[in-house]
């Protein structure tokens, strides 16, 4: 329906997302992402938090253990907890922003040593 002055008027009955193309296309930087303070319990369970931020929001965070994806989160908190097994293991996070360009960035790798579980005293 013409609204005059070169514009149009629409009747909308459902939610609408309006994208500012100039702003969306200007976001060419990937999000900031890093592995937080990793906690390793005596029983070998590791908790790996990821910190991710971007001006267009975070759409997804993937957590990698020794190069293989072990967790995908599309909302905070971005955390993996599990038993990677004894020895040295490297964690890395890949964050994708919420811009239409879907920019991605990888964290620096973070290596931890999971010790042998303590021997039980009987």
- Other CB atoms within a 10 A radius of the CB of residue 42 amount to 8
Residue 6: predicted pLDDT:
64
Planar angle of CA 101, 8, 24, nearest 5 degrees: 10
Q: Of 40, 25, 18, 29, which is closest to residue 111 (Cα–Cα)?
A: 40
Residue 24: predicted pLDDT:
55
37 token code pair? 């303070």
Residue 26: predicted pLDDT:
66
Average pLDDT over residues 108-120: 86
Residue 39: predicted pLDDT:
97
Average pLDDT over residues 78-89: 96
Residue 30: predicted pLDDT:
86
Average pLDDT over residues 83-104: 94
**Structural contact between residues 82 and 45, judged by C-beta atoms closer than 8 angstroms:** yes
CA distances from 83 to 3, 15, 75, 79, 89 (A): 62, 43, 23, 14, 11
Give yes or no for residue 45 having a pLDDT over 50.
Answer: yes
pLDDT confidence bin for 1, thresholds 50/70/90: very low
Residue 100: predicted pLDDT:
84
Q: What is the mean pLDDT of the chain?
A: 87
Q: Nearest 5°: phi and psi at 97?
A: -80, 175
Give yes or no for residue 79 having a pLDDT over 70.
Answer: yes
């Amino acid at each position: 329906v013409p609204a005059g002055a070169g514009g149009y008027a629409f009747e909308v009955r459902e939610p609408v997302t309006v994208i500012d193309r100039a702003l969306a296309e200007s976001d060419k930087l990937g999000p900031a992402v890093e592995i937080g303070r990793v906690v390793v319990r005596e029983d070998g369970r590791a908790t790996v938090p990821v910190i991710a931020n971007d001006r267009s929001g975070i759409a997804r965070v993937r957590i990698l253990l020794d190069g293989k994806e072990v967790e995908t989160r599309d909302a905070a908190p971005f955390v993996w907890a599990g038993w990677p097994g004894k020895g040295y293991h490297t964690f890395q996070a890949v964050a994708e922003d919420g811009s239409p360009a879907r920019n991605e960035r990888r964290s620096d790798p973070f290596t931890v040593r999971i010790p042998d579980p303590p021997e039980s005293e009987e």
